[in-house]
Structure 1
Amino acid sequence: MSMDETSFPALTDGESTVHRGPQSNPPSDVNDPTIRGQAWDIIESVLDDATPQSEWAREQLRTRMESHPGNPERALLEHLMATRSFTDGQSDDSEPNLPSPDLPLPDEDYGNTVLFTRRSRRRIEAILGDRMLLTAFQPIHELSSRNVVGVEALTRFVSDDGASADHWFNEAAAVGLGSDLEFAALQAALIAAEQLPAHVYVALNLSPATCLDPRLRAFVEHSQLAVDRIVIELTERLAEDEYEPVVAALAPLRLRGLRVAVDGAGAGFGSMSQVTHLSPDIIKLDRSLIAGIDHAAGQRTLGAAMVEFARQVGADLVAEGIETQAELTSVMDLGMGFGQGYLLGRPSVQPLDWTAWRTSADHEASTSGSNGSAT
């Protein structure tokens, strides 16, 4: 759901295009045009906001950019970390009591959401109001039978700037609307999932904050989808003190059949810490472990260890990002039971593609039934 690495400009696949003003063009030797392009897009939105309320934010951002010429990502990051939500508790028309741009901000915890521009908030509110988002489903296969047993829901935004889903979710979080946008994407995914084959589960990407939101239980319980077909896939690493509240919040739904997946396992200690604390039903191996596993002895050793670990804890193991036949052969040789990736199936917003998954499964079932009756 949010939170995928591809862009969806104007309902078509392709490379994202970021519109920038004449004074904010990035240097020609950009190493990562997608990330840097998104940084420039947000910077431009701040600098273009000519309202008096945003003057302080503009001055602060210009100072950061002068400190880090040619590095908009660093300038934007420092700006977000150093900007407080001065408008909290005020109406949209009230004048915030902003400090002088020359005065340093006090050293305090800025873990709360950051409201650094009214324009960003208006952009997200427009998305929420008009429901300008779609759901793409990427199939998850049982590797031995090649049947589609599940899908991951990925959000596609209907916009003319080509911004990726990650960009929209990050901007929503920055203006305090992260959970609202996740719930809008969740609702769209649950409605779209009604057209999926009945045997397919749906993995929904949610942040820990949204898992703690009391609205989640109502969304799940009022969905037309059976609870045991819903998988909550955590998209962020949890701090040590966040595990217990998240486990407690999800416990009532898990008792009714909802499953939990941990994404990015095998990518570091943090991912394994989530596995041990959350006791997930599904462990998804990070693409960094799968890419080139056919010729990397260290990755194969770690992959084999993860297969045994999943067996010991009773979790299904999904290899993410399978893109070559050699990778597919290797993960199957290691005993990994499930997989997803471009080799197996790309994300699709087309219900006709989803119907094909039903047809494939029905064909496999009828074939198995015929073989059984023949014996």
Structure 2
Amino acid sequence: MTVRVQAWGVIAAVLADSDPAGAAIRQRLSDRLGENPGVPERALLEYLLERRQLDAAQEGAVDAARFPQPMNAMPPQLVERLDSLRSLSRISALLEKQMLMTAFQPIYGLDSKTVMGVEALSRFVSDDGAGAELWFAEAAAVGLGANLEFSALGSAASAAANLPAHLYVAMNISPTSCLDPRLPELFDHIELPIDRIVLELTDGIPDEQYSHFISAITPLRDRGLRIAIDDSHSSAGTLSRMLHLRPDFIKLGRSVISGVDRDASQRAVAACMVDFGTQLGTVLVAEGVETADELRVLTELGFSAGQGYLLGRPSVRPKDWESWNTPLDPDELRHLTASETGHAYPGHGGADRR
């Protein structure tokens, strides 16, 4: 449903209210409609802004008789529709103005000691400072999830022009958006070659979508696209599916990595996943590496690649990206302390996941 259709629905609900106490505020809305002919969403937003000011005045005990029917007295269904409209307007404005940029975090090959790829992470230019996860969740709630994800993919592809040419670029996307027919068209219109792109799934694939997902993604993989999944969606069923899906990358985060250097059970789990990845023929990436001891054990166990604050923080600066042609210095890493590396990695399941 478009913003305009939603706006008309809310306006109709407000104007249909027969409560005499709300006559003045309904008249204000009618006035806004007259001032913005053919643009109901603008009229409604001006009305909502005025209502917010009126509510604030009421809370301050300023001439309560002049401001009848505060928003918290509206029917819950109407409040819900108003909230939905606000979200639609916010996301639509964000998409229209392209208010997002891309940070890249390096992914190191643990054998080569060089950067082999990057993960693209969205950064939003917004007054409220909301994190990427909140923006994507809000967009999905109002039916614009795929639009925002495709915008983020386009932004990442454009920014990747400044990366070293040999690096692959992992871009986050939901399985649902992979079913959108616009996805193949997106790859036809971006300059980044499809064989440098890795789609990193942000959610598990629902049972009812699995066959459709395979059908949609296979033609793109035939063109060179690669797929990554992470352990936050792992289960016995998911591991079984991997045998069929055969992802190009499996990313294991703090649930497996934390304590791998000092906990025998954690090390056993990590070793089992290395064996599983080898049998599957997939690249195993340790995500969220925080200490030099973790990195040492992961390398000994046979992990293919590593990502985390120890190895490199996300950056929006092309100058930082240029340095990723430089080999990793293991001796330098040994001298890093937990305090220097942050020891709190938001890149796994947190605000940096996108």
Above 0.5 in TM-score?
Answer: yes
Match of 2:147 among 159, 167, 180: 180
Any conservation in 1 of the 2:104–2:120 contact (CA below 8 Å)? yes
Match of 2:320 among 337, 348, 353: 353
What letter is aligned with 1:153?
A
Q: Aligned pair 1:128/2:128, yes or no?
A: no
Change beyond 3 A, Cα 1:162–1:102: closer
In the other structure, the counterpart of 2:225 is 258
Looking at structure 2, the residues matched to 235 and 300 of structure 1 have their Cα atoms a distance apart, in angstroms, of 25
Change beyond 3 A, Cα 1:234–1:274: farther
In the other structure, the counterpart of 2:161 is 194
User: Deviation at 1:53?
Assistant: 5.1
Looking at structure 2, the residues matched to 181 and 295 of structure 1 have their Cα atoms a distance apart, in angstroms, of 41
SS in 2 for 1:144: coil
In the other structure, the counterpart of 1:306 is 273
User: Deviation at 1:221?
Assistant: 2.5
In the other structure, the counterpart of 2:54 is none
Looking at structure 2, the residues matched to 283 and 340 of structure 1 have their Cα atoms a distance apart, in angstroms, of 12
Looking at structure 2, the residues matched to 209 and 267 of structure 1 have their Cα atoms a distance apart, in angstroms, of 18
Cα deviation per residue 1:290-341 (whole Å; 9 max; x = unaligned)?
A: 1111112111111101101111111010000001111111111111110100
What letter is aligned with 2:193?
A
SS in 2 for 1:261: strand
Looking at structure 1, the residues matched to 241 and 230 of structure 2 have their Cα atoms a distance apart, in angstroms, of 9
In the other structure, the counterpart of 2:283 is 316
Looking at structure 2, the residues matched to 281 and 157 of structure 1 have their Cα atoms a distance apart, in angstroms, of 29
Looking at structure 2, the residues matched to 244 and 355 of structure 1 have their Cα atoms a distance apart, in angstroms, of 41
Change beyond 3 A, Cα 1:266–1:237: closer
Change beyond 3 A, Cα 1:355–1:321: same
User: Deviation at 1:361?
Assistant: 5.6
User: Deviation at 1:288?
Assistant: 1.4
In the other structure, the counterpart of 2:309 is 342
Change beyond 3 A, Cα 1:227–1:361: farther
* Structure number with bigger Rg: 2
In the other structure, the counterpart of 2:128 is 161
Looking at structure 1, the residues matched to 139 and 302 of structure 2 have their Cα atoms a distance apart, in angstroms, of 40
> Is there any run of 5+ residues in structure 1 with no aligned partner, and where?
1-49, 56-90, 104-113, 364-375
In the other structure, the counterpart of 1:72 is none
TM-score by length of 1: 0.65
In the other structure, the counterpart of 2:298 is 331
Match of 1:118 among 76, 85, 90: 85
Question: What pairs up with 1:263-302 in 2 under 5 angstroms?
Answer: 263-264=230-231, 268-269=235-236, 271-302=238-269
User: Deviation at 1:271?
Assistant: 4.7
Cα deviation per residue 1:53-112 (whole Å; 9 max; x = unaligned)?
A: 589xxxxxxxxxxxxxxxxxxxxxxxxxxxxxxxxxxx86999xxxx9589xxxxxxxxx
TM-score by length of 2: 0.69
Aligned length: 264
Looking at structure 2, the residues matched to 254 and 115 of structure 1 have their Cα atoms a distance apart, in angstroms, of 42
Looking at structure 1, the residues matched to 12 and 270 of structure 2 have their Cα atoms a distance apart, in angstroms, of 55
User: Deviation at 1:264?
Assistant: 2.4
SS in 1 for 2:231: strand
What letter is aligned with 1:127?
L
In the other structure, the counterpart of 1:218 is 185
Change beyond 3 A, Cα 1:187–1:54: farther
Indicate the structure with greater helix content.
Answer: 2
Looking at structure 1, the residues matched to 132 and 237 of structure 2 have their Cα atoms a distance apart, in angstroms, of 24
Change beyond 3 A, Cα 1:229–1:122: same
Question: What pairs up with 1:82-93 in 2 under 5 angstroms?
Answer: none
CA-atom RMSD in angstroms:
2.8
